[in-house]
Chains A and B, each alone.
Chain A
């Protein structure tokens, strides 16, 4: 078991290394001068201030020392939690800006991922091998997974937000309020949370339902299912065993789909102007704030890696075979 987890952790460490290296390489090896383009958007008219800013950023990028030194310096700064200074919100450090946005992204992502996974699996298992549901719910699920996250967001924001007026369609809370632990603020924040959550949930739900439905069909065709049926076991019991076996690939699927769902969350935030990492990325792009952009990239990669590790641990807990196999000296 520990060997299995150790190997996985090693892989994630390597992935992190690659991600940081890519992060370092992109601004240096892409065509164009990042400092020039970055400051081109900053509204500084005083030439003296501008020159000092240019120098500051050239130094931050470390453009005046040899490449290998730049690379080592990049890692050094990273381990001190220093991701540079934001251009858009000059002079706030990037780490600070990002840490403020992370809770909002997590508040959208975690419930959407977990609930869609649980509900999608239940529904998929329920729909499998029932002809009526298969022919109505299945095509609908396929259309849902094929829907671009932002379009469903736009439709919900327009339909339920602007036209019907049931939920607010922009922001995480009303402008009149300041974040506080009061009933008024919490209910307001919840109302703002519903639509972005719903659009994330729906798209992901379709995917899980389809996956589960296909897996259940396979499990019901397996020998142990036929054997149980031949013994006269009730339909519910056979299904329960099938469901448990089908869970394993779905857990692996959870890890595989993480990247897609995270990207979906970023897009959804942009639609609803929800102040998480997605909105920050948009601002960073509009303001050419490359430090913020790259910081956001690292944050997301770290988040995805941690989530992957959690899924791996979960897998070991759920599937006893991974434990015995590893103990058996394999």
Chain B
């Protein structure tokens, strides 16, 4: 997405402490970052603390069926009498978990492939690049459908793992390109002359000079993982136990809530996903502007 344009310009200049302070100053004045960050933080807080305050099992039958939102049931109840708010809070937690897991694994894989390929070059790079391109062209979601269909019991962990294994390539490609351009700079040459090991040079010299890039890649991978997980859940390949926002939509549509008009069953989960991913994206633009002076408003 916006990463395509975010070249690492003017980085590695000046003392790093100064730069960090500068970034922070711009970050605190950036409305997009602040707005996105606040919404995200509120949602995260709801997901972490919420489940302790609402009654235990999100799938328990606690109230009347088809009840619209009220004081007793904030988001109403499903056609089985389950509390939608309880499910929402638990589902939100699952959403964050799958995003962190999927985005995290994809991020680590992307960094590994990108750093090694971009720094090493040669045959290693050729092979890694080919693998990256192949996985990039294959539609991740469809591969995941096939893989998940054969699993008898599905859990959040496996879902996150699978998502991570299929969504890393674009990040690897972006990181490889950046590493490639950094690896030719003088300070990296100097580090190489001093006889340090390659992985230390990558960690100490190359990675810190593109940390903004890495952070933003992770944010986009996180958002992507959340959306893919929601899609899988929606067609019925979600976790076989527990709840998730995608699964709520799946049940809602399967049990005909569209035609019964029980809008409170399908609006909260979708809104939750949109809010999480949207605030991530908007915070990401904010970060882009903070790190990248060319994008700041004139």
Contacts and interface: CB of A to CB of B under 8 A. Distances in A.
Interface stretch (B12-20, B116-124, B204-212, B269-277): B269-277
Nearest to A303: B139
B253 interface: yes
A249 B235 contact: no
Contact of B2 (A22, A211, A301): A211
Contacts of A23: 146
Contacts of B236: 282, 285-286
Q: How large is the interface on B (under 10, 10 to 19, 20 to 34, 35 or more residues)?
A: 35 or more
Interface in B221-272: 223, 227-228, 230-231, 234-237, 246, 249, 252-253, 258-259, 261, 263, 266-267, 269-271
B249 A207 contact: no
A284 B107 CA distance: 32
Interface stretch (B45-53, B82-90, B128-136): B128-136
Contacts of B295: 214, 217
A197 interface: no
Contact of A150 (B231, B267, B281, B285): B231
Contact of B139 (A149, A214, A263): A263
B62 interface: no
Contacts of B72: none
B157 interface: no
B278 A285 contact: no
Give the contact-size bracket for chain A.
Answer: 35 or more
B25 to A, nearest CB: 22
B186 interface: no
B166 to A, nearest CB: 10
A263 B141 contact: yes
A96 B42 CA distance: 51
Contacts of B134: 11, 14-15, 18
Contacts of A210: 1-2
Contacts of B2: 210-211, 214
B258 A162 contact: yes
Contact of A158 (B150, B237, B266, B297): B266
Given A15-B134, A253-B4, A285-B236, A258 B139 contact: yes
B146 A256 contact: no
B294 A293 contact: no
Contacts of B263: 158
A151 B259 contact: no
Nearest to A284: B149
A195 to B, nearest CB: 12
Chain A binding site: helix, strand, loop or mixed by DSSP?
helix
Nearest to B259: A162
Nearest to B152: A32
A270 B259 CA distance: 15
Interface string A298-325: 0011001100100000000000000000
B223 A300 contact: no
A194 B235 CA distance: 22
Given A11-B133, A142-B285, A282-B236, A150 B138 contact: no
Contacts of B281: 142, 145-146
Nearest to B146: A297
Contacts of A27: 150
A281 interface: yes
A162 B5 contact: no
B24 interface: no
B235 A281 contact: yes
Candidate in A11, A150, A163, A169 with the most chain B CB atoms within 10 angstroms: A150
A246 to B, nearest CB: 9
B8 interface: no
A271 interface: yes
A33 to B, nearest CB: 10
A148 B235 contact: no
Interface of A: 11-12, 14-15, 18-19, 22-23, 26-27, 30-32, 34, 37, 129, 131, 138-139, 142-143, 145-151, 154-155, 157-158, 161-163, 169, 207, 210-211, 214-215, 217-218, 221, 249, 253, 256, 258-260, 262-263, 266-267, 270-271, 281-282, 284-286, 290, 293-294, 297, 300-301, 304-305, 308
Given A30-B147, A210-B2, A304-B139, 6 more contacts: A27-B150, A145-B281, A148-B249, A207-B1, A249-B4, A281-B145
18 contacts: A11-B137, A30-B151, A142-B281, A146-B227, A148-B227, A150-B253, A150-B270, A151-B249, A162-B259, A162-B261, A214-B4, A249-B4, A253-B4, A259-B137, A262-B141, A263-B231, A282-B235, A297-B145
